[in-house]
């Protein structure tokens, strides 16, 4: 498979904390759009377009699909055909922490679950190792030492090069980071939910990551599609908010929220960006953010997201205007 020879000139790369790893400013998340319910031709083209534009990081988890596991299987097939000569140019990550199989060992954060889950993920993707393995969410029922020692073991076994955590608030993240450091397996990166509408990471977590030299890679940067032009006129029939089983609920699309989105869109237009592009750029303005995970239902949608890199700086008037709108 032949890819663009100038792909690495198309992307901005940022150092991940104080590590030796550089990540693309935009990474591709396979949470949606890569399952067995999706069109292989479409997601194959999306993967090609990502790499052609310098996206070297593909982010998965054991339960991505649907059905759970299918995103890893589908990605693995394309990896071993189209990307077989480029494995060493890629950062491939996976996670475990949410329900994956029945019984007491298929969820949360025990050593049994994490080691078993990664073994399954490696088989699905036909890999000897992943570059990054995350604990997907904190487990209140398992000692943190057990979960972190499982991550340390996985690195020592050669099944992952680096480890990270996801969805950890600042106090528990601090404990996890310090435990891993003492074990000799530093925490490379944290993956939190972060967007203009989801700001809990600003309550100490970003400061912690900056201080400890840990990278940050936000997911759901567009608030499940809310921060796009899709909802400027209400709720479209085929949108996520229109589907009661989706992560974005109808109740979230109030008249006040739509009014906010319209005002945010005006600022984006003045910047020469779409609302989605501005929302991505808004995250990247902070140098503690290593990369932003975007989903894409098509190659065209991914290319549109990448245009955010044309302008990731904001002046005080823009930032104050955005904050004023969000607080209104």
- State the sign of the Cα–Cα–Cα–Cα dihedral 187, 189, 193, 198: positive
What radius of gyration, in Å, describes the C-alpha atoms of the chain? 19
Q: Hey, what domains does the chain have and what are their CATH numbers?
A: 7-225+287-310 (3.20.20.100)
User: Alpha-carbon distance 296 to 39, whole Å?
Assistant: 13
Residue that has been written with the tokens 């085929």 in this structure = 238
Instruction: Locate the DSSP E strands across 215-326.
Output: 215-216, 292-294
Lateral strand order in the sheet of 187-191: 215-216, 187-191, 160-166, 130-135, 91-96, 57-59, 26-29, 292-294
Confidence at residue 233, expressed as pLDDT on a 0 to 100 scale: 73
Q: At what angle do helices 170-183 and 144-156 cross, to 10 degrees?
A: 40
User: Alpha-carbon distance 298 to 255, whole Å?
Assistant: 30
> Under DSSP, is residue 34 helix (H, G, I), strand (E, B) or coil?
coil
Confidence at residue 250, expressed as pLDDT on a 0 to 100 scale: 66
> Under DSSP, is residue 293 helix (H, G, I), strand (E, B) or coil?
strand
Confidence at residue 234, expressed as pLDDT on a 0 to 100 scale: 62
Tokens, residue 209: 């990551």
Contact 26, 55 (CB under 8 A): yes
* Half-sphere exposure in the Cβ direction for 236 (13 Å, CA): 10
Confidence at residue 275, expressed as pLDDT on a 0 to 100 scale: 98
Tens place of pLDDT for every residue, the chain, 328 residues? Answer: 899 999 999 999 999 999 999 999 999 999 999 999 999 999 999 999 999 999 999 999 999 999 999 999 999 999 999 999 999 999 999 999 999 999 999 999 999 999 999 999 999 999 999 999 999 999 999 999 999 999 999 999 999 999 999 999 999 999 999 999 999 999 999 999 999 999 999 999 999 999 999 999 999 999 999 999 988 876 665 555 545 546 555 667 788 999 999 999 999 999 999 999 999 999 999 999 999 999 999 999 999 999 999 999 999 999 999 999 999 8
Checking phi first, is residue 103 left (phi over 0); if not, alpha (psi -120 to 50) or beta? Answer: left
> Under DSSP, is residue 191 helix (H, G, I), strand (E, B) or coil?
strand
């Amino acid at each position: 498979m032949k890819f663009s020879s100038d792909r690495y000139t198309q992307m901005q790369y940022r150092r991940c904390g104080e590590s030796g790893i550089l990540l693309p400013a935009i990474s591709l998340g396979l949470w949606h759009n890569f399952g067995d319910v999706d069109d292989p031709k479409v997601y194959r083209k999306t993967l090609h377009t990502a790499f052609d534009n310098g996206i070297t990081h593909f982010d998965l988890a054991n339960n991505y699909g649907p059905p759970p596991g299918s995103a890893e299987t589908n990605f693995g097939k394309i990896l071993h055909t189209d990307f077989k000569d480029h494995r060493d140019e890629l950062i491939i990550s996976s996670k475990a922490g949410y329900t994956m199989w029945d019984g007491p060992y298929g969820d949360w954060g025990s050593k049994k679950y994490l080691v078993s889950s990664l073994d399954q993920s490696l088989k699905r993707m036909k890999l000897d190792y992943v570059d990054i393995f995350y604990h997907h969410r904190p487990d209140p029922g398992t000692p943190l030492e057990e979960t972190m020692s499982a991550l340390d073991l996985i690195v020592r076994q050669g099944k992952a090069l680096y480890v990270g955590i996801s969805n950890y608030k600042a106090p528990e993240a601090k404990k996890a980071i310090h435990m891993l450091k003492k074990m000799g397996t530093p925490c490379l990166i944290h993956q939190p939910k972060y967007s203009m509408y989801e700001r809990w990471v600003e309550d100490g977590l970003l400061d912690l990551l900056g201080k400890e030299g840990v990278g940050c890679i936000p997911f759901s940067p567009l608030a499940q599609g809310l921060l796009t032009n899709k909802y400027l006129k209400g709720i479209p029939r085929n949108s996520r908010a229109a589907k009661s089983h989706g992560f974005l609920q109808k109740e979230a699309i109030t008249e006040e929220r739509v009014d906010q989105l319209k005002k945010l869109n005006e600022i984006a237009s003045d910047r020469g960006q779409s609302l989605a592009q501005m929302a991505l750029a808004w995250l990247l303005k902070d140098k503690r953010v290593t990369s932003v995970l975007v989903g894409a239902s098509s190659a065209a949608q991914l290319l549109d997201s990448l245009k955010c890199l044309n302008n990731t700086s904001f002046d005080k008037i823009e930032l104050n205007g955005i904050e004023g709108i969000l607080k209104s």
